[in-house]
Amino acid sequence: MDTVSDLNALALIVTKIRDLEAKPTGNTTYTDITGGSLQVSDLTSLGLDTSNLTDSNYSGTVRQHRLTNVYDSIIGATGPTAVDSLVELQALINNTNTIIA
């Protein structure tokens, strides 16, 4: 983070995560949040290992299912403190490795 632009980009990603977490459980409208839907590139830019979400050994459908699982896990979090660290977000991504179809 060495520019205002970098800081603004980080703030937008944090806002996307916060907006997802604030949705009622079961809400599957992932795009109606500030700045549009959370992207794999957003998670990568936070320094998270997103290889489970980008593994080319799996079809695009599987990769999208894994990302959707991350969205659902953020929405189903027990409050903002359940997704307020990189360790917690990484765990959500890591948990998608069992989705293979």
Task: Write down the pLDDT at residue 71.
Answer: 94
Ranges 22-26, 72-76, 87-91: which has the least confidence: 22-26
> Is the pLDDT higher at 75 or at 101?
75
Say if pTM beats, i.e. exceeds, 0.85. yes
Please state the rounded mean pLDDT for residues 27-56: 92
Answer positive or negative: Cα dihedral of 84, 86, 91, 96: positive
Task: Write down the pLDDT at residue 34.
Answer: 86
What secondary structure letter does DSSP report for 36? S
- Binned at pLDDT 50, 70 and 90, residue 78 comes out as confident
